[in-house]
Structure 1
Amino acid sequence: MKIIIRTTSLVCILLFASCETLNQAAGVLSQAGINPSATEIALGLKQALEVGTGNGSDRLSAKDGFLGNLAVKILFPPEAQKVEKTLRSVGLGSLADNVITSLNRAAEDAATEAKPIFVSAIKQMTINDAVNILLGNQNDAATQYFKRVTSAQLAAKFNPIITNSLGKVGATKYWSTAMTSYNKIPLVTKINPDLDDYVTQKAIDGLFYEIAGEELKIRTNISARSTTLLQRVFGYADQNKAKQ
């Protein structure tokens, strides 16, 4: 009879326990080693992306962040590479160098403004998205998702920043001088690519490149998981990957 009474009492306690009590209990179970919840996974991924975008933006916004990084350094647009080659062949190599330097300075300047844009986009990721990304087979799954759903919005917001930056660092002047000098050369086909769009896209590509590197680091390097949540969530992903 005592067993029945105690069991009934336990059921009643569970049935009428407050949400806060149950949440506290869930937290204890979570800390005890139970698999992370979908909410924890979402928070962990968002934290990883915030770390990645923050680190990437900080690195690229520093002086020579773009210019000194061969993986993301911005060169003449592909359709204008013959312009660079021709300018250098007629003794205008310093002008070509000034163009390249100014393009990268513009991207570095704009990268300073990128962080809040990325943070805002990260907050829009759903729990289901996060779970699928964490347990997927791609080491850059989060970055690819982020790139897929935010690229257009980033370009729209980033373009005015780049346009302003190009003028501020003198890129527009150097580019105009380079194009004018090139177009004056006899027998060349005149060309003038859209510099703003080109640098905008290259700057965004560079940011995504850095973010992907950060994501890979967190996924594969345990020491890079700087918080308890990251350790827990990505540790769980490691376990699932080992079972596949």
Structure 2
Amino acid sequence: MMKRIFAVLIIFNLTACAELQQVVDSLPEGTSSVLGNADIAAGLRQALDLGIDKQVTKLTSEDGFFKNDLVKIVLPAELQKVDDGLRKIGLGNLADEGLKVLNRAAEDAVKEATPIFVNAVKDITFDDAKTILLGESNAATNYLTSKTQTQLYDKFKPVISASFSKVGADKIWDNLITKYNNIPFTNNVSTDLTDYVTNEALKGVYTMIAVEEKEIRSKASSRSTDLLKKVFALQD
């Protein structure tokens, strides 16, 4: 009787070991070791760095904002009537130029401010890296936004202001608003375009980082380092 029980236990153990080995073999390479919160946080930072390197840099080229429907800066509501009013009196080309220079200022500013974003990612601390990893497709980007937006706005706004002068946006919009305000029977308008473009440029940056995060989450082929492969295999 004991021999029979012993034989059954041996068979059971062999079967269990075989099944366990199958599970291990099915895991992505390099994920068999336990990844701690620090490893996961490092992987998330790396994903955000890639978003800056691959996607945000696209915004710095000419038309990086202007011809990208995801981030193109359009006129704020209070200036839509300026655009409409100028077009009605045959100044459509001037209105087009006004829209373009807003996007040019953002493109120029992002070029100058990219190191700010790189440093922000380095300094970020993920309180619950595993929760972020297993969250929505843009969870890490949302976390970055919540932790850095106010600080980055303060650093980014003077860069935008300088870019306005550099690309001539300030003069163009002073001219546009003056021309509009001189149109009979219109109400005078004024707006803080520096504040508006700063916020829109920041939104554009976070949008493009989210594009790369989603790519890394959804496509194993986009995980270009061993760390990314190990970390994001956990959420597959």
Q: What TM-score range do you get, normalising by the shorter chain?
A: 0.7 to 0.9
Residue 105 of structure 1 aligns with which residue? 104
Question: Matched residue of 1:123: which SS?
Answer: helix
Residue 186 of structure 1 aligns with which residue? 184
Q: What is the CA distance between 1:31 and its match in structure 2?
A: 4.4
Query: What runs of 5+ residues in structure 2 fail to find an aligned partner?
Result: 1-28
Residue 16 of structure 1 aligns with which residue? none
Question: What is the TM-score with the length of structure 2 in the denominator?
Answer: 0.84
Give the partner amino acid of 1:179: I
Matched, 1:226 2:224: yes
Residue 165 of structure 2 aligns with which residue? 167
Give the partner amino acid of 1:125: I
Instruction: Within 5 Å, give how 1:1-244 maps onto structure 2.
Output: 31=30, 33-136=32-135, 138-238=136-236
Distance 1:50 1:130 in 2: 16
Residue 7 of structure 2 aligns with which residue? none
Give the partner amino acid of 1:54: D
Taking a change above 3 Å as real, the CA distance of residues 126 and 62 of structure 1, as seen in their structure-2 partners, is same
Superposition misfits of 4+ residues, deviation over 6 angstroms: none
Q: What is the CA distance between 1:44 and its match in structure 2?
A: 0.5
- Report if the CA contact (8 A) 2:31-2:230 is conserved: no
Query: What runs of 5+ residues in structure 1 fail to find an aligned partner?
Result: 1-29, 239-244
Give the partner amino acid of 1:62: S
- Report if the CA contact (8 A) 1:35-1:236 is conserved: no
- Report if the CA contact (8 A) 1:134-1:142 is conserved: yes
Question: Matched residue of 1:237: which SS?
Answer: coil
- Report if the CA contact (8 A) 1:36-1:233 is conserved: yes
Q: What is the CA distance between 1:115 and its match in structure 2?
A: 2.1
Question: What is the TM-score with the length of structure 1 in the denominator?
Answer: 0.82
- Report if the CA contact (8 A) 1:162-1:196 is conserved: yes
RMSD of equivalent CA atoms: 1.4
Distance 1:31 1:89 in 2: 64
Distance 1:147 1:126 in 2: 13
